[in-house]
Amino acid sequence: MGQPRACQIIRSDGFRRSSASGVGKQGERNGRLFLFLVCIVLTPMLMVGCSGMQGGFHDKAAFEEANDLFSQGKYQASLNKYGQMLEKEPTARDRVLFEMGVIYSHPKNEHKDYAKSLDCFQKLITGYPGSDYRPNSEMMVFTINNVIFKDRLIAEQQAQIGVLHQEAKGKENEVATLHQRIMALEQNVLDFATRKRSVDRIVIEKKERRLMLISTGEVLKTYKIALGGNPDGPKERQGDNKTPEGTYVIDGKNKNSQYHQALHVSYPNERDKKRAKELGVSPGGDIMIHGIKAGFSWVGDLQANKDWTKGCIAVTDEEIEEIYKLVSLNTVVEIRP
């Protein structure tokens, strides 16, 4: 006597693989849960074999044909064959209903229908109370209802996640809009400062690698900077690649510098000269706030990632153009450690 396909489903590689099928992690989890519970349900059937099941199977060829269709993944064709057998095999209807219930709920069945599967099992439970398939059908009903509940719960959680994503996207748009407004306001301030030439101090913080334009005590704008290749400590002598520390002024402007545009800093001051004299060295000079060397403007913002000058303060070409417009001769330059 051929074994009912419910038994073969448990043994087949197709069913085992189906536990990892489905869409994403949800399908994988539900497939594994379904496989685990079906194994529990059908273990007694595997132990007793089909000969112990109720009902004689008069048309073995029909069952084998339905089973072959299932094995080939032709689930609808298999269901159609079992549907015909409901009328032709009245003594085996309980088995046919059980087989159809399993196929309808099979994880690899792309058109699985839990409602139809439950309907098959319920008809078996109600219409064949003495069937050997009834206990397993009851367990299958429990299993499928559990899967449906978890599917619904996951769907609700995914919907909530979708809503949260939309809210987060809305917040991102709000932040982006605010950022644009801030940039526009900063530009308005800079434009006003450019017209009024109101920058009265430049503050350079070496440790923080930043240059600030100050107007009447307020910071108009901040720029990232690169310093001399040996940035720690004040400049003491010519060629030490250090950036000075102290108070100076802008005493010159060069619009055609080899470093795009440049503002000359009045280093060395009297304190610097005295220190160099005590050391018996030349204090050096030519300290400037400038852009990027000609031919390398494409480096852009990356120039601030490494201290590369011989003691000067470097910004991008676009930034030096902005600073050049805002800063007048004799503007105070304060260079802090």
Entry field: residues in the chain: 337
Burial environment of residue 153 by CB neighbours within 10 A (0 to 12, 13 to 18, 19 or more):
exposed
Separation of alpha carbons 248 and 250, rounded Å: 7
Reported in sequence order, the residue ranges of the chain that DSSP labels E, i.e. its strands, are 201-205, 210-215, 218-224, 246-257, 260-265, 288-290, 313-314, 332-336
- Residues 82-99: b if buried by 16+ CB within 10 A, e if exposed: beebeeebeebbbbbbbb
Tell me what percent of the chain is helix, strand and coil, each rounded to the nearest 5.
55, 15, 30
Inter-residue long-range contacts of 76-84, CB under 8 Å, 24+ positions, other chains counted: 76/111, 78/103, 79/103, 79/104
Beta bridge partners of 313: 289
Q: In what helix (H) or strand (E) does residue 92 lie, and over which residues does it extend?
A: none
Separation of alpha carbons 159 and 169, rounded Å: 15
Separation of alpha carbons 228 and 236, rounded Å: 13
Report helix angle 93-104 to 134-196, nearest 10.
10
Is position 312 annotated as part of the catalytic site? yes
CA torsion through residues 112, 115, 116, 121, sign:
positive
- Please provide residue 240's backbone torsions phi and psi, each rounded to the nearest 5 degrees: -85, 0
Q: What is the dihedral of CA 48, 50, 55, 56, to 10 degrees?
A: -130
Active site residues: 290, 312
